[in-house]
Amino acid sequence: MLALHALMVSLQEATRQTSNYYLYNWLWWLFLIFAFFIFPLVFGDYYQLLRLSGTINRLLSDLGRVLNQSFTSVVNTIENIVRKNNIQNVTRKDIESKIKDLIEYVLIQPTELETQGIVNKLKHIITLYNKELEDAIRRLIPVDKHVIQNIVSSVEALRSLNLIYKIVMHYYRLGMKYRNFYILLQIYMVIPQIKEAVNAISGAINAFIKGQPIGDSAGPLTAFKFLREKCESVEPLSHSVEDTYIARCRYKGRIVYVIKALGPGSSTGRLDDAVTYLIEHCGVKPRAIITVDAALKLEGEKTGTITEGIGVAIGGIGVEKFNIETLATKYRIPIYAVLIKMSMPEALTLMTKDIAEATNKAVERVCKIIEQVAKEGEEVLFIGVGNTIGVAQ
């Protein structure tokens, strides 16, 4: 009230004064109009550009730092292996240039113009790609297969990290080149996802080079625990399916075939080939196929929650899923899924305690399903889906 009174009084007085008041008044209003109307209108986009470029610049330098760290740790690991195994004629320079080459290695997807038989083409290309990567690493360091598999996986993770970096850099450069903040805005909008992905991938590299199980190993770990703790008379089958472990065992009178990737190297196995081998070559007549896999949770869901369902629970590109679904449909075999929920960073980094404990519950669920769907003497297929790194059999 006092201020208002002072204003009124002084305004009245001001009207009596001359020149100076009007000058000040106009200058002040001019300033206000510029500050709040003209300036934002004219320089708004430019200001946004400045702000976004700062943020994305920071993101890029962070990404570069993470990429460099991961690259160095992979090279260090290989160097250690070289030193430990007394491999001659391999210098740090050789390793660095080889890894740099492999990071840029491309996998060209088959054309989708004609979709007939595309799954088999995709399978062929991916198998070839993995084999090429493994061969390239084996030429560099001729050591045990599981060590090579771990290195291959970390190189693949490096490759996706590098790809993210290059894409962000592309949009940043393009936006700055044409002073267009809408292009920068597109990167700005996905910064949270980029950060999560980068965190997860760099964590994955850490686990891969040490050979530690990751969250995605929950499926193979469930299979391992089922074999060790619940089954009697476990006998591994000899077969020609690469990177895959098949065992036959007895659980409460039921015959269970357990399929998982062959550990403890980083591998997801050829699960579809294993199922084909059992059903079409060995004449197994399963009452059900049960898959256990890690599944992505939504924010707000609890890690380690277990859900059951129908269908084949296999992630990835979908080749194995397609093949197993085709087989199951052909022979009318019921397919059951047990899912262990986790977030994307949890799935790719060192397994957390919640997930390790959840596998115990998953084993119980699998046992319950087997008891329900098969009578004594009947056969069941149980597939532990996922990357088996750090989990043997």
Partner 1 sequence: MISVTELYALFMALSLSLMMILIFVTYMFMRKTMFVSIETVTGKAITVLKCPYCSYTIRRVFREGDHVGAVAQEKCPIHDANLIVSEIYTETPSSE
288 CB-near residues (< 8 Å, 6+ apart): 333, 334, 335, 336, 369, 370, 373, 374, 380, 381
Binding residue for partner 1, selected from 48, 55, 160, 276, defined by CB under 8 A: 55
- 141 lies in the site for partner 1, by CB under 8 A: no
CA–CA separation, 374 and 336 (whole Å) = 13
CA–CA separation, 339 and 347 (whole Å) = 13
For residues 242 to 281, the per-residue mask of contacts with partner 1, x marking binding by CB under 8 A and - elsewhere, is: ---------------------xx-----------------
Q: What is residue 70's three-state secondary structure?
A: helix
Both tokens of 156, joined, read 């693949």
- 361 lies in the site for partner 1, by CB under 8 A: no
- The nearest distance, CB 349 to partner 1, in angstroms, is 5
Cβ of 306: how many Cβ atoms within 10 Å? 16
- 294 lies in the site for partner 1, by CB under 8 A: no
- The nearest distance, CB 180 to partner 1, in angstroms, is 20
- Where are any strands of DSSP class E within 59-200? none
Q: How many Cα atoms sit within 13 Å of 315 on the Cβ side?
A: 16
Binding residue for partner 1, selected from 87, 90, 169, 191, defined by CB under 8 A: 191
- Pick 69 or 115: Cβ nearer partner 1: 69
Residue whose tokens read 């080889």: 98
Binding piece for partner 1, criterion CB under 8 A, among 57-65, 111-119, 233-241, 361-369: 57-65
Binding piece for partner 1, criterion CB under 8 A, among 53-61, 106-114, 171-179, 279-287: 53-61
The widest CA-to-CA distance across the chain, in whole angstroms, is: 110
Instruction: Read off the DSSP letter of residue 110.
Output: P
| Count of residues interacting with partner 1 (CB under 8 A) | 54
- 160 lies in the site for partner 1, by CB under 8 A: no
- The nearest distance, CB 332 to partner 1, in angstroms, is 35
Residue whose tokens read 């959840």: 358
- 75 lies in the site for partner 1, by CB under 8 A: no
Task: Identify which of 379, 261, 238 has the alpha carbon closest to the alpha carbon of residue 320.
Answer: 261
Binding piece for partner 1, criterion CB under 8 A, among 60-68, 95-103, 166-174, 285-293: 60-68
- 58 lies in the site for partner 1, by CB under 8 A: yes
- 221 lies in the site for partner 1, by CB under 8 A: yes
Alpha-carbon dihedral sign for residues 131, 136, 139, 141: negative
- 169 lies in the site for partner 1, by CB under 8 A: no
- 195 lies in the site for partner 1, by CB under 8 A: yes
171 neighbors 183 (Cβ within 8 angstroms): yes
- Pick 291 or 359: Cβ nearer partner 1: 359
CA–CA separation, 38 and 35 (whole Å) = 7
The DSSP code sequence of 230-260 is I-EEEEEPP-S-TTEEEEEEEETTEEEEEEE
Binding residue for partner 1, selected from 14, 169, 237, 284, defined by CB under 8 A: 14
382 CB-near residues (< 8 Å, 6+ apart): 223, 226, 256, 257, 258, 259, 290, 292, 366, 370
CA–CA separation, 40 and 22 (whole Å) = 26
172 neighbors 57 (Cβ within 8 angstroms): yes
Binding residue for partner 1, selected from 29, 42, 47, 54, defined by CB under 8 A: 54
159 neighbors 105 (Cβ within 8 angstroms): yes
- 129 lies in the site for partner 1, by CB under 8 A: no
- The nearest distance, CB 261 to partner 1, in angstroms, is 13
| Ranges within 301-330 binding partner 1 (CB under 8 A) | 303
Binding piece for partner 1, criterion CB under 8 A, among 54-62, 104-112, 177-185, 272-280: 54-62
- Pick 24 or 182: Cβ nearer partner 1: 24
Residues within the interface to partner 1 (CB under 8 A): 6-7, 9-10, 13-14, 17, 20-21, 24, 28, 32, 51, 54-55, 58-59, 62-63, 65-66, 191, 195, 198-199, 202-203, 206, 210-213, 221, 224-225, 228, 263-264, 303, 343, 345-346, 349-356, 390-393
